[in-house]
Structure 1
Amino acid sequence: MVEHIVLIKFLEEPSETQIQELIQKTLALKVVIPGIMDIRQGSNFSSRNKGYQVGLTVRFEDRASLENYGPHPAHQEIVKFLKEIGLEDTLVVDFECN
């Protein structure tokens, strides 16, 4: 099993409508992209966030599923939307777990 963690930072604070749209689009990937076991996303409320406003965790069956996820057209639509609403930076951590 592989855990994929993404922190997202925007140039300016997106609207609540934009954040909710992002979350809904992202959660829908579970039924579109093979190998996703679980997916969660939400707005960060911690004061220790270093400017990262949204967090994402995706649990994949294996590394092959993670490798398929990045270039998948449905995932690329999310990346496009993130850029449209002002994506500044992402921080990604991937690790295998039992």
Structure 2
Amino acid sequence: MLQHYVFIKYQDGTTAEHIDLFCNRILSLKKLIPEVISLEIGRDILHDSRSWDLVLIMVFQSTETLRSYQKHREHQSVMKFNDPCVEQVASIDFVSSIKA
């Protein structure tokens, strides 16, 4: 399984209402896009200087299914809604190969 993590830092002044709506729209993608195996959203609770505001944790079957999700019109619509408020985004995609 492919793990897809997206870290989002919002611009100052972004409202809680915008972030709530974004989270709800992202969560709705699980039902709309069959390539999404699982989806979690986490909000920062420590608010350190190096913290991100939000993390999306998603699981896909493969790189191909992730790419299909990223091209999906519903995903594109949610990104277009969120992009004007985003200061920075980072992501990492991996297949877990090290376990304790």
Q: TM-score band (shorter)? A: 0.7 to 0.9
Equivalent in the alignment of 2:29: 29
Task: Give the 4+ runs in structure 1 shifted more than 6 A.
Answer: none
Match of 2:74 in 1: 74
Q: How far is the alpha carbon of 1:34 from its aligned partner?
A: 2.1
Deviation at 1:28, TM superposition (A): 0.7
State the TM-score, normalizing by the size of structure 2: 0.85
Counterpart in 2 of 1:90?
A: 89
State which structure, 1 or 2, has the greater radius of gyration over its C-alpha atoms. 2
> Is the CA contact (8 Å cut-off) linking 2:44 and 2:51 kept in structure 1?
no
Unaligned 5+ segments in structure 1 are none
Unaligned runs of 5+ in 2: none
Structure 2 letter corresponding to 1:90: V
Q: For residues 74 and 49 of structure 1, do their structure 2 counterparts lie closer, same or farther at Cα, with a shift above 3 Å needed?
A: farther
TM-score relative to the length of structure 1: 0.87
Instruction: Give the root-mean-square deviation of aligned CA atoms.
Output: 1.7
- The size of the alignment, in residue pairs, is 97
In 1, distance between residues paired with 2:62 and 2:88?
26
